[in-house]
Amino acid sequence: MKTMVPLLLLASACAADDPIDPATCDAPRVYRIDTVTLPASTRAAREMAFDLDGDGVVDNQLGQVSGYLIDKFSDVPLDLMGRANAHLATDTDWRIEIADCGDVDRRVAIDRAGVGIALPGTSFDGVVGAKGSDGGVPLVALFDGTGTVSSQFTPAEHTELQLAETDGELTGLVGFAIGHELAVRLVVHAMAGFLVEHDDPFGMDADGDGTLTETEIATNSLAQAVLGADVQFGGVDSISLALEIHATRM
């Protein structure tokens, strides 16, 4: 994964400076994302990340959260990846479309089926890099603690991706900045059932009535600390997420 970073930086620089005319592009190749790999530790979250806002620091706050939770509940275990991949196999049609626009330029969309505004990008030696202000991510599916929560997509304020395209497959890294308020609400909703099942392990039942609510989770000091906004795009406080994906051409 790390060997592709210089190519991504070059591709992203070109994409940011040169909008691509859709009329110059071929019909897109469509891939369905079938598996994801979430960071399983806070260290992995730092390694599996983009510098989304260009401040010299890698951004993957929600990856840090997933890594912390997976590590803390390793004895249970908390199988976020297994449940996310089950969603991808059933009720979560997450797609990537790549259109060739000449030898190097690419237009790339990542969102749910039937939706997606293409990001400008480039391809060098089979590595596609793109970034921009559109994209969609099934955040609830990625943080479904019990495997019983209905999947929901949320739009991204900013998206970056770095993908190797070979033999009808895509593999690589995708990153998002998601509006903070919405992201926190969806992550809390996705994890609430798990925390209830495991007897409120963080002591978040503020009023001590034995019933843990999503509001109590969201307003808990620990949750507010780990789910804090870490990037901003277009004046919107956002929280970052990066993960690895595998997709198969449809």
Whether 42 shows a pLDDT value over 80: the answer reads yes
Q: Give the residue-averaged pLDDT of 197-211.
A: 91
Which amino acid appears at position 76 of this protein? V
Q: Could you tell me the sign of the dihedral formed by the alpha carbons of 192, 33, 81, 183, in that order?
A: negative
Mean of pLDDT values over 27-32: 97
Task: Give the pLDDT confidence of 72-102 residue by residue, as tens digits.
Answer: 999 998 999 999 999 999 999 999 999 999 9
Average pLDDT, the chain: 91
3-state secondary structure of 206: coil
β-pairing, 154-155 with 136-137?
Answer: antiparallel
Q: Please choose, from the candidates 86, 107, 81, 109, the residue with its C-alpha nearest in 3D space to the C-alpha of residue 96.
A: 109
**Does the pLDDT at position 247 exceed 50?**
yes
Q: For residue range 114-149, list pLDDT tens digits in order.
A: 887 899 999 999 999 999 999 999 999 999 999 999
47: left (phi over 0), alpha (psi -120 to 50) or beta: alpha
Look at residue 8 in the predicted model and tell me its pLDDT. 42
Distance from C-alpha of 200 to C-alpha of 216, rounded to nearest angstrom: 11
CA distances, 246 to each of 10, 85, 139, 164, 202 (Å): 23, 11, 17, 10, 33
33-37, 115-119, 165-169: range with lowest mean pLDDT: 115-119
Whether residue 45 is predicted with pLDDT greater than 60 in this model: the reply is yes
- Average pLDDT, integer, range 170-187: 98
Of 241, 42, 7, 12, the closest CA to residue 141 belongs to 241
Range of lowest pLDDT (18-27, 81-90, 179-188): 18-27
Cα separation of 120 and 134, whole Å? 10
| Separation CA 59–CA 56 (nearest Å) | 9
| pLDDT grade for 18, boundaries at 50, 70 and 90 | low
Mean pLDDT of 204-220: 93
CA terminus-to-terminus distance, the chain: 24
Higher per-residue confidence, 15 vs 249: 249
Give residue 19's pLDDT.
79
Residue 175: the pLDDT is: 98
Domain positions in the chain: 2-249
Residue 9 banded pLDDT, cuts 50, 70, 90: very low
Tell me the whole-structure pTM to 2 decimals. Answer: 0.90
